[in-house]
Amino acid sequence: MPTPVLRSVHVHPVKSMRALAPTAAEVQPWGLADDRRWAVVDAAGGIVTQRRHPRMALATAEPVPGGGVVLSAPGHPPLTVEVPHPTSTITVEIFDKPVEAVPAGPEAAAWVSAYLEGDFRFVHMDAPEHRRPVDPDYARPGETVSFADGYPLLVATTTSLDALNSLIAQGDHADEGPLPMNRFRPNLVIEGTAPWAEDGWTRLTVGEVTFRVARPCGRCVVTTTDQLTAERGKEPLRTLARHRKSDGRVVFGQNLVPEHTGTVRVGDEVKILD
């Protein structure tokens, strides 16, 4: 096998909006810099994702200096949103767990409400070092996470995607494949491994940063959403349900927790430590 390398890096400034692909990213204790520090919430305070609103895939947030973002989407003018002052917070919910967040101003609320056609607010996680702990069943004391589903980073491999696409081609929805990696919204994509090799990893180094593998990533309906059109199909969940189940969940990719900070760059060598 060739030496594994980092094929691509992906940052999602707003949870469930379009991913960006920088050539390098700073790894912070709670995830990549600028990754999922912003989120959309509904009138009840629940975090909104592509699970309910697949059109979020068509909206883009570009980071600007200072931590703000420029929001853009088809048919809507761009809006620059600066980081709100943390003078007060509101309680939002992610997977039924409360998290304190700082609401952006009324212009941002109006923008996301117009785009998603409802009553929504736009919020920022001001202090990820203490706002939201990682699941204690899979974390060490003090480990935290942004608005990501549960863990600081997600890694996937190109060879496992190729293997999955081969299985999809043999199934009853072969016309939906092959699927691109963006269906799985990873942070790090590695090439040069054996298919499904990540199932056996417990620690790895990417460039100058070492990560602990927390657990396989359970997959949801977002993976069936075309990230370029927001249209939904059946795959890959049909095929994953047949071939890739762990603890009652369909899985693809591995959740990571960084052991220290640093920078990862496209082309970095990947070393499997355990």
Summarised one tens digit per residue, pLDDT across range 201-237 is 999 999 999 999 999 999 999 999 999 999 999 999 9
User: How far does the chain reach from its first CA to its final CA, in angstroms?
Assistant: 17
pTM value is 0.97
Collapsing DSSP to helix, strand or coil, 255 comes out as strand
Determine the distance from the C-alpha atom of residue 41 to the mean position of all C-alpha atoms in its chain, rounded to a whole number: 17
Spatial separation of the C-alpha atoms in residues 235 and 81, rounded to whole Å:
35
For residue 115, what pLDDT is reported? 98
For residue 138, what pLDDT is reported? 92
Q: What contacts 162, CB < 8 A, 6 or more positions away?
A: 195
Spatial separation of the C-alpha atoms in residues 83 and 64, rounded to whole Å:
10
Collapsing DSSP to helix, strand or coil, 41 comes out as strand
